[in-house]
Each structure stands twice: as structure tokens, then as C-alpha cells.
Amino acid sequence: MPNYKLTVEYDGTRYRGWQTQKNTDRTVAAVLERAASGLFGEPVRMTGAGRTDAGVHALAQVANFRAARRLAGIEVQYGINDALPSDVNVLSAEEADPAFHARHDAVSREYEYRISRVRTAFEKPFVWWVRDALDAGAMGEAAARFAGDHDFSSFCENPAGQTSTRVRVERCEVVEQGSKILLRVAASHFLWKMIRRMTGTLVEVGRGKLPGDAIPALLARPSREPARWTAPPSGLFLARVVYSGTASRPDARTIARPNARTASRSDARTVARSDAPTASRPDARIAARPNARIASRPKPPAGRGPRRPPGGHRP
């Protein structure tokens, strides 16, 4: 039975997270499963690399599923996209190794949190607008203290319900990019609300309300303070999933403001970073805004043209 691997982007604003749930069908996995089931004519079960929470987005979520029929990757991509809502898009599809598992085989995941220093109409669903002046330099220095193997129980929702609250953070950095401050964190795995509480804590540092050297104390013993500072889900993106043998840190994708010129890579400035042994940083890659048509598409298999059913949309 073929095992298919998908790379998916989505605007998580109206969804209750990635994972399928018994009490709602408004999850990203659920809409993908419906679309794939219609294409293959059989029930399909999706497994995702990252279980993003309600309102959280993805630039490159990875999923896999099995189905009896064997189709070319491009047919799978087009066929699923034709049945998806406009806020979920399959970027690529391919047949994977029969043993491939999107979650269990991942060796690292990277999230990006976007903070806006200015009010914005178009990007509001994709940033956290912080009205207070923020010291990005202080935030970067504090972020470096998260790197390494630590107990993140202070930054986790329901730590008692976790098998373990220890996480090895490979890299944690703050980057200034125009009017935005970006927090980029790579780790083996993440705990529930971990990134949002790390972000909220760093914003307190940026506001001058918390010293940066308070981070080690929050990691050393449980505290409820980070829960009070939890950042909203709107600014959080699953940016990348890494598998064994993946080339060193491919391009990250940045959502641009609609109809606005996007600053070049040279405009982004890394304030501070901390690296445990890991691959190097990516070049930034600009993606179109959500719901925009993708400019180019791969060629269909030789001898046949792409399907274009009435009302269908393209990846």
C-alpha cells in the first residue's frame, strides 16, 4: 500500500488545531483527510509532524497517509488541492518509503513567532501587535539562555500530564526584520504552549519588566509566571520539519503583507542567537500571502493535461 508524504501550508486562524477531534471537524487534518478520501475513494488517516494548536499556522507542515491506489505525486497534489478550502494548500506530494512516519521520523522542528511593532490591517491574523516599545537586543540576549537541555515545565500547559518536560533546544534567536521582531526556535520537540510562553516571557524582557537573567531561574524550578505572559496563537508558525539526511537548513518562508514590497534578506538583522550543535541558518524565502494563487506549478505527467474541474482551485 503506497505511503504518501505531503508538505502543507495553512492559515490556522479558523481551525481548532491540526489534530482530528471527536467533537469537531474543523481541524486541518480533518479537511485534508476529507479531500484525500474523496480523491482515493476510501477513508484516509493523516499523521502530522507537528500538532499545531488552535489558531497556529504552518509554512511547511509534513504529513503522511496510506491509500490503496498508486498515483503520481502531482496527481495527489492537484487532486487534494481541488477539494481543499483556500486557507489550506498542499505544496508538494510524493510517494515515501513504506516505513516513513511524519512525526516519529522527524529529528527536529522549527517554529517562528512574529511580533509586530506597528498596527497593521492586513497582517493582523499573522502577528502579535505589541504596542509597548521593545528592546530587541535585550530580548535576543535573553533568548540565548533557552538553548540547551532544560526542564520547560514552567513554559508548558499541564506539565503533570506530560511524559517528560525536558526539551533540548538546538537554537533560539531573535531577528529584527523591518517593523517586526521574529523569534525562531528549533528543538527536538515542543510542549503544549511552550513557544507562546517563551515569546511572552521575552516580550516582558523587551518591555523592561523582567531582567534577562531571570530566564535560568524560570528553567531551574517551576513557576506560574510564564503562563500569565502567554502570547496569542496568531503570530506562531510551524516553519520547518527536519528529517535525517535533510540538507542543511533550506530556505525559510516569510509571508509578505499583501501588495507591499517585501524587504530584502539584508534588511533582517539577527539580534542574538544561541546554537547548540546544529545546522546553519536558512536564507529567507518570500511566499505569497494566504489565499493568493501560486504563480507557478509543476508540469503534469507526459501525455496528459492537468484536470480543471468546475470550481476547482489550484495549489
User: Alpha-carbon distance 198 to 87, whole Å?
Assistant: 27
What is d(CA 74, CA 95) in angstroms, rounded to the nearest whole number?
10
Residue with cell string 507557478: 296
Q: What are the angstrom distances between the C-alpha of 155 and each of 28, 181, 198, 218, 226?
A: 25, 20, 7, 9, 6
> Which parts of the chain fold into alpha helices (H)?
28-40, 73-81, 136-143, 194-207, 215-220, 225-228
Q: Is 53 among the catalytic positions?
A: yes
Determine contact, residues 190/171, Cβ cutoff 8 Å: no
User: Which position among 53, 87, 135, 275 bears the catalytic label?
Assistant: 53
Do the Cβ atoms of 255 and 287 come closer than 8 Å?
yes
Sequence-distant contacts of 96-99: CB under 8 A, at least 24 apart: 96/3, 96/4, 96/5, 96/64, 97/3, 98/1, 98/3, 99/3
Active site residues: 53
